[in-house]
């Protein structure tokens, strides 16, 4: 391994650069740097030669030209053996280390007052060129794009007498290409979302994103499908993407998808302990409780048959009593909560296969983000369904208004139905689902299934409430529910036959609320 003799430093984010350069200098590394970086290093008594002095060419055009010179790029890209003669002929010295980070394009365009001119000036050209050149020639050159890597590089140089292993150089080169790909993607997304009049539209001309592999998997949705788990660059807190696994077998593809669904549903409950049990991405039991154990017992009781092998999510830290209740009662694939107390963790160690995850607290209002659906040959992009209906926007459309208890249960059922695959019908009573009809091709069938589930779990549907994710297209679905004893309904409304459905509700003495918001989920 050849030790590093010459480094080029050109950084916008100057964090950690002084300490890094000082150590390089201490080991006798010659340092070249661009204007602002050189100024900072000089201020800290670190010897450095400005790139403009080295090339004999001034920085110009407001910084658009700084390092774009054959003496720089030849020094980085030159193949140390093959190109030795040509390098010598043109007086090009090899550059062995490149530390560069780029103009803050993403931060600039995120500012509300950013205009096109500011965005354009923050497109770094020389920086990515340096990074790409150094990464391409990683056989001879070390490239650092992330200040977090300064320490690692210095550490390895210390051990290896000023050199870096080829494995580290390769790893850093991959990081560098990932970084420039992300950077260019951000530029393409931003510019691609501008109309010819520079007005910003929501959707760019091409949609470019980068996800990073978090976990390899044995298989995907089925054993013959290969799979891996990728996460966003900065995933939101309180998600499966950021969750810490405290024990248990490796998460599978279906575990991750189902846990995501369970978490999404349990996050809908802000007041009081709640538990959601999910099977195949559908909630099968959801309940509020006086405490977390009570919430779990009630969620389990909602559909004990389906709960077997389920994913259990909580909206409050998991305590030992609840942990004990779970392991004594059922086989579970995954348990997830914002936190898991130490004593609860101790309880769960007796079932070492159960995957237990702590995902941390989540913000009360989810940040807006995109939702994707892959189709063969394309991608559907939409807002995440984070829409909620404020209480004052609910409209009572029947002669009878809901009682306070009915209203409570209707809101509870409405929170749940949004997370059930369409056509979705939820029967609920006293803050507990008693029957969930999911994924049917007709709404009336979902309603019948919800009734059957309630019966199977031993619940009476008399005076229960019903939530429907979309309007009832005909009066039959509503009447089927009425016959089962349902006395209160919440649904978006908006059907051509709303009047017929309302008339049916009135005939049966029901109360019905319209939300004006539909929650299809496929
Ligand atoms: N134009 C160039 O030749 C060029 N070479 C390097 N840069 C960038 O200039 C910045 C550092 O500038 P300074 O050292 O002057 O603060 C770095 O973000 C680096 O990526 C350049 N600037 C933009 O393209």
| pLDDT for 516 beyond 80 | yes
| Cβ 11 under 6 angstroms from ligand 1 | yes
Distance (Å, rounded) from C-alpha 172 to C-alpha 139?
Answer: 11
| Cβ 65 under 6 angstroms from ligand 1 | yes
Distance (Å, rounded) from C-alpha 68 to C-alpha 66?
Answer: 6
Please, which residues have CB within 8 angstroms of residue 82's CB and are 6 or more apart in sequence?
none
Residue 46 Cα to ligand 1 midpoint, Å, equals 19
Tens of pLDDT, residues 97-130: 999 999 999 999 999 999 999 999 999 999 999 9
- Please give the number of the atom of ligand 1 that sits closest to the Cα of 12: 18
**Residue 517 CB burial class (10 angstroms; 0-12, 13-18, ≥19):** middle
Residue 210 Cα to ligand 1 midpoint, Å, equals 24
pLDDT band at 365 (very low <50, low <70, confident <90, very high): confident
Q: Which of 14, 280, 408, 455 is catalytic?
A: 280
Please confirm, yes or no, whether 280 is among the known catalytic residues: yes
Run of H or E including 214? strand 212-216
Residue 35 Cα to ligand 1 midpoint, Å, equals 8
Q: Tell me the ipTM for this assembly.
A: 0.98
| Cβ 14 under 6 angstroms from ligand 1 | no
Residue 154 Cα to ligand 1 midpoint, Å, equals 23
Six-digit token string for 207: 């949609």
Nearest CA to ligand 1 atom 17: 11
Q: In the CATH hierarchy, which fold is given to the domain comprising 391-514?
A: Cytidine Deaminase; domain 2 (3.40.140)
In the predicted model, what is the mean pLDDT of the chain?
96
Please, which residues have CB within 8 angstroms of residue 346's CB and are 6 or more apart in sequence?
320
| Cβ 485 under 6 angstroms from ligand 1 | no
pLDDT at 2: 84
Residue 11 Cα to ligand 1 midpoint, Å, equals 7
DSSP state of 235: P
Nearest CA to ligand 1 atom 13: 36
Please confirm, yes or no, whether 483 is among the known catalytic residues: no
**Do 361 and 388 form a contact (C-beta atoms < 8 A)?**
no
Q: Where do the domains of the chain lie?
A: 6-193, 240-358, 391-514
Tens of pLDDT, residues 266-279: 999 998 999 999 99
240-358 is a CATH 2.40.30.20 domain: no
> What does 17-63 look like in DSSP terms, one character per residue?
HHHHHHHHHHTT-EEEE-HHHHHHHHHTT---EEHHHHHT---BGGG
| Cβ 252 under 6 angstroms from ligand 1 | no
The reply to whether 391-514 shares the fold of 240-358 is yes
| pLDDT for 197 beyond 80 | no
Q: Average pLDDT, stretch 182-205?
A: 89
CB atoms within 10 A of CB 223: 8
Q: In the CATH hierarchy, which fold is given to the domain comprising 6-193?
A: Rossmann fold (3.40.50)
| pLDDT for 1 beyond 80 | no
- Please give the number of the atom of ligand 1 that sits closest to the Cα of 14: 16
Residue 152 Cα to ligand 1 midpoint, Å, equals 24
| Cβ 57 under 6 angstroms from ligand 1 | no
Tens of pLDDT, residues 389-448: 999 999 999 999 999 999 999 999 999 999 999 999 999 999 999 999 999 999 999 999
| pLDDT for 199 beyond 80 | no
| Cβ 34 under 6 angstroms from ligand 1 | yes
């Amino acid at each position: 391994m050849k030790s590093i003799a010459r480094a080029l430093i050109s950084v916008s984010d100057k964090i950690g650069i002084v300490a890094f350069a000082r150590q390089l200098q201490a080991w006798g590394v010659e340092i070249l740097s661009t204007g602002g970086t050189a100024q900072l290093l000089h201020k800290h008594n670190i010897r450095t030669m400005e790139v403009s002095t080295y090339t004999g060419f001034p920085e110009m055009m407001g910084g658009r030209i700084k390092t774009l010179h054959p003496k720089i790029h030849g020094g980085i890209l030159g193949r140390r053996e093959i190109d030795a003669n040509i390098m010598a002929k043109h007086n090009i010295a090899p550059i062995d280390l490149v530390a560069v980070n780029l103009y803050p394009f993403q931060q600039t365009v995120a500012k509300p007052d950013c205009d096109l001119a500011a965005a354009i000036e923050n497109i770094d050209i020389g920086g990515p060129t340096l990074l790409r050149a150094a990464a391409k020639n990683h056989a001879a050159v070390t490239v650092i794009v992330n200040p977090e890597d300064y320490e690692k590089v210095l550490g390895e140089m210390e051990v290896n007498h000023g050199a870096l292993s080829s494995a580290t150089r390769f790893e850093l080169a991959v990081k560098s290409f990932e970084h420039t790909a992300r950077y260019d993607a951000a530029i393409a997304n931003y510019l691609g979302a501008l109309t010819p009049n520079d007005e910003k539209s929501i959707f760019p001309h091409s949609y470019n994103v980068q996800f990073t592999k978090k976990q390899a998997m044995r298989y995907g949705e089925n054993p013959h499908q290969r799979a891996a788990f990728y996460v966003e660059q900065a995933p939101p807190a309180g998600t499966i993407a950021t969750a810490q696994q405290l024990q248990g077998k490796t998460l599978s593809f279906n575990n991750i998808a189902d846990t995501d669904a369970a978490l999404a549903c349990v996050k809908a409950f802000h007041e009081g302990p709640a538990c959601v049990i999910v099977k195949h991405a559908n909630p099968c039991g959801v309940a509020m409780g006086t405490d977390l154990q009570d919430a779990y017992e009630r969620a389990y009781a909602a559909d004990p048959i389906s709960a077997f092998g389920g994913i259990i999510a909580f909206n409050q830290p998991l305590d030992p009593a609840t942990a004990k209740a779970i392991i004594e009662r059922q086989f579970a694939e995954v348990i997830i909560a914002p936190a898991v107390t130490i004593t609860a963790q101790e309880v769960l160690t007796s079932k070492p296969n159960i995957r237990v995850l702590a995902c941390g607290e989540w913000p009360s209002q989810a940040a807006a983000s995109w939702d994707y659906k892959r189709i063969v040959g394309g991608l559907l992009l939409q807002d995440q369904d984070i829409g909620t209906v404020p209480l004052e926007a609910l409209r009572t459309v029947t002669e009878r208004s809901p009682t306070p208890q009915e209203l409570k249960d209707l809101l509870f059922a409405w929170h749940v139905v949004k997370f059930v695959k369409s056509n979705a019908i939820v029967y609920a009573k006293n803050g507990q689902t008693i029957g969930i009809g999911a994924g049917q091709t007709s709404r009336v069938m979902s309603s019948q299934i919800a009734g059957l589930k309630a019966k199977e779990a031993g619940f009476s549907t008399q005076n229960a409430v019903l939530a429907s994710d979309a309007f009832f297209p005909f009066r039959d679905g509503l009447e089927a529910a009425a016959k089962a004893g349902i006395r209160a309904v919440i649904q978006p409304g908006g059907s051509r036959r709303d009047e017929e459905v309302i008339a049916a509700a009135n005939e049966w003495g029901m109360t019905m609320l319209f939300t004006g918001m539909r929650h299809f989920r496929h």
